[in-house]
Structure 1
Amino acid sequence: MTSKQQYRALCQQANDIPIFIKDWWLDVVCENWDVAIAMNGDKVAGVWPYNVEHKAGVSIIRNPVLTPYMAPHIFYPHDLKPSKRDSFEHEVTESLYKQIHAKVWSISLMPGQKQVGFFVANGFKINPRQTFLMPLQDDEQNIFARLHEDYRRNIRKAEAELTITNEPELLPELWQYQKATLDKKDVLMHFNEQQIQKLFNACLQHNCTALWVARKEGVVQAILWHMWDETRAYYLVGSKNPAVKDNRAMTALIWKAISESKKMGKATFDFEGSMDTGVEKFFRNFGGERTLYLVVKKTTSRLWKLKEILRG
């Protein structure tokens, strides 16, 4: 059995593997993915799926399209003492890393992964980024109370003015709204309509997604792509209709996604935070916990180093 076959079997059994590194997700977003597996006796101690690209003879590992996190996943023994947890993670990460070979690395780890020393010792540069995580263990009323008072007011008004429904067939409109928004900012889209549709269809097949659409008098105001795995829910892509001026719709849609995530029993809602000042402020006012995640980069290719220098 190959590592990939072993991992596919593991994905059928383990209920805590994040959606972004599940085998079916990787099948959609990668052309050439593989996986490193570390064992602890006869049990899997950790896995590290990775996507390999080849450009100009250079092997590159980086996050695939529409995949915010691509990182090792550790299976901690149930009887592991808390004092040994970090050492176990370090040892497993090292074992996994030794199995992966590439000239260029540029990947975003999962929030909460903190093995900075390991990556620095292996020649990586570390760039911290941020997201906001909303814990969902509390009751919905207390979660709602975490929101900024202006957001709570807007959501209450939106409840009287907007209808919010799950409309998967409107995914092309979401892509068009997103493209129009980024074009206005002169920002390049990192995915095309075919890529987002293919991934969305796969999520539908695995019953882990919804496309929330806010309408006012029948007119679409905004759309949000909501997805989830066994423990966490995510806001992956969302956009306002550029032809309307309603500023409450996105706030209402995010609250809808949070509320539905709570009803499904998810532990956390991940805003997929941004370093953009405006987006950061918008997410921050929902009352989530600011959480750092690491972007790790490394290159041993002279050709790639020259390319980066020329790009400035």
Structure 2
Amino acid sequence: MPQKMEHLLERKQKYRALCEQESAIPIFSQAWWLDSVAGDDWDVVLVEKGNIIQASLPYVLRKRMGMTIISQPVLTQNLGPWLRPSSAKYAKQLSQEKDLLQELYARLPAHAFYRQSWHCSRSNWLPLYWQGYQQTTRYTYRIEALSDMEGVWADTQANIRTDIRKAEKQVSIRTDLSFERFIDLNRKVFERQGMVLPYTEALLRSIDSAAEARNVRQIFIAEDEQGRLHAGVYIIWDKDCAYYLMGGGDPDLRSSGATSLCMWHAIQFASTKVRAFDFEGSMLEPVERFCRAFGAKQTPYFSISKTNSKLLKTYFFLQSLRK
């Protein structure tokens, strides 16, 4: 076996063991998730001290026009560094973060462009600013206290509560329907906009198979008495938070309010598993309005990037002039 491949397998083996030990690593950075969305195209850099991993940074390599791009896979909300928690005083913690982050990023393979969105819990990107990286603030919407479902309902806007009550008179929520039925609903969202699925059905089945095997996914589908499927919501979760990964709906049945009812059932279910619910965005205004209406709080997260290629720098500059 070539030495490079040997080292890759060793890193991944160490990282898989780390993910098994550290449940605080977000679901999108877990080795099994990366297997399901990227196959063999992902790698990881590690910083170890005394045979203990202090920091990790999984990533996906792509080739575009002969250039190496470091990015994150589709349907992967965040992907970035994990640092071992420290009990040191605050000033020392910042010093440790600086050293670990800069060492992690120095170990990345040569690349023309890098971009990853970090988990919202990681806010100190200053050490990378000193290394020439850039940051764009993006937003997701989160409900942080699922333990207080009465408070969540009270914070939900009146129009959503009306939709939920209306839908309850027309449909029932099923959690026993096949993933294929959900894909049909998901596809209709894009068909209504004249678009094709932005991901392959094979990818969706890979994700679903892996998540179902670990019992970290649930599908909610609204069905009426005629057997028509109105809407569906697909969530996944880790030890801390549930994520609204995908949705779907029949455009001819949009007025039933079933999407809101599916989402409410998903939130209620999540409250039995984790402490928080993440709507995964969105920066799109109509989607943002829907997420916010459930009383979710706007939560910033960072998109970190760096362009090393002079050709790409010129291209991005010309693009900015056109805008």
TM-score (structure 2 length as normaliser): 0.87
Given the alignment, which residue of 268, 272, 278 partners 1:270? Answer: 278
Q: Secondary structure at the residue paired with 1:115?
A: coil
Q: Bigger CA drift: 209-218 or 121-130?
A: 121-130
Given the alignment, which residue of 76, 79, 100 partners 1:92? Answer: 100
Deviations 1:109-160 (A, max 9, x none): 1113222423332222322111011013532222221211222233233333
Q: Secondary structure at the residue paired with 2:205?
A: helix
Question: Residue 132 of structure 1 corresponds to which residue in structure 2?
Answer: 141
Distance in 1, Cα, partners of 2:307 & 2:196: 24
Q: Per the alignment, do residues 87 and 285 of structure 1 end up closer, same or farther by CA in structure 2, a change over 3 Å counting?
A: farther
Q: Secondary structure at the residue paired with 1:65?
A: coil
After TM superposition, the structure 1 = structure 2 runs for residues 92-171 of structure 1, keeping only pairs within 5 Å, are: 92-101=100-109, 102-167=111-176, 169=178, 171=179
Q: How many residues align?
A: 309
Distance in 2, Cα, partners of 1:47 & 1:254: 34
Q: Are the equivalent residues in 2 in contact too, given 1:108–1:296 (CA < 8 A)?
A: yes
- Is residue 240 from structure 1 mapped to residue 242 from structure 2 by the alignment? no
Q: Per the alignment, do residues 137 and 175 of structure 1 end up closer, same or farther by CA in structure 2, a change over 3 Å counting?
A: closer
Question: Residue 3 of structure 2 corresponds to which residue in structure 1?
Answer: none
Question: Residue 4 of structure 2 corresponds to which residue in structure 1?
Answer: none
Q: Per the alignment, do residues 76 and 168 of structure 1 end up closer, same or farther by CA in structure 2, a change over 3 Å counting?
A: farther
Question: Residue 189 of structure 2 corresponds to which residue in structure 1?
Answer: 181
Shift of 1:13: 1.7
Question: Residue 33 of structure 1 corresponds to which residue in structure 2?
Answer: 42
Distance in 1, Cα, partners of 2:115 & 2:231: 32
Shift of 1:256: 1.0
Q: Structure 2: give runs of 5+ residues left out of the alignment.
A: 1-6
- Is residue 75 from structure 1 mapped to residue 75 from structure 2 by the alignment? no
Q: Per the alignment, do residues 83 and 148 of structure 1 end up closer, same or farther by CA in structure 2, a change over 3 Å counting?
A: farther
Q: Are the equivalent residues in 2 in contact too, given 1:177–1:242 (CA < 8 A)?
A: no
Counterpart amino acid of residue 69 in structure 1? N
Deviations 1:153-183 (A, max 9, x none): 33233333321121351x3343343343334
Q: Secondary structure at the residue paired with 2:169?
A: helix
Shift of 1:10: 1.3
Shift of 1:303: 3.9
Deviations 1:250-308 (A, max 9, x none): 111111111111111x1210000111111111111111110011112222123444555
Given the alignment, which residue of 298, 302, 312 partners 1:290? Answer: 298
Given the alignment, which residue of 184, 200, 214 partners 1:192? Answer: 200
Counterpart amino acid of residue 208 in structure 2? F
Distance in 1, Cα, partners of 2:295 & 2:83: 29
Identity %: 29
Q: Secondary structure at the residue paired with 1:245?
A: helix
Counterpart amino acid of residue 66 in structure 1? L
Distance in 2, Cα, partners of 1:310 & 1:182: 31
Q: Per the alignment, do residues 221 and 121 of structure 1 end up closer, same or farther by CA in structure 2, a change over 3 Å counting?
A: same
Shift of 1:310: 7.5
Shift of 1:84: 3.9
Counterpart amino acid of residue 252 in structure 2? A
Distance in 1, Cα, partners of 2:93 & 2:198: 37
Q: How well do the aligned residues superpose, as a CA RMSD in angstroms?
A: 2.2
Question: Residue 63 of structure 2 corresponds to which residue in structure 1?
Answer: 54
Shift of 1:239: 1.7
Distance in 2, Cα, partners of 1:137 & 1:238: 21
Q: Are the equivalent residues in 2 in contact too, given 1:69–1:109 (CA < 8 A)?
A: yes
Q: Per the alignment, do residues 9 and 244 of structure 1 end up closer, same or farther by CA in structure 2, a change over 3 Å counting?
A: same
Distance in 2, Cα, partners of 1:126 & 1:182: 30
Distance in 1, Cα, partners of 2:262 & 2:90: 39
Distance in 1, Cα, partners of 2:166 & 2:188: 27
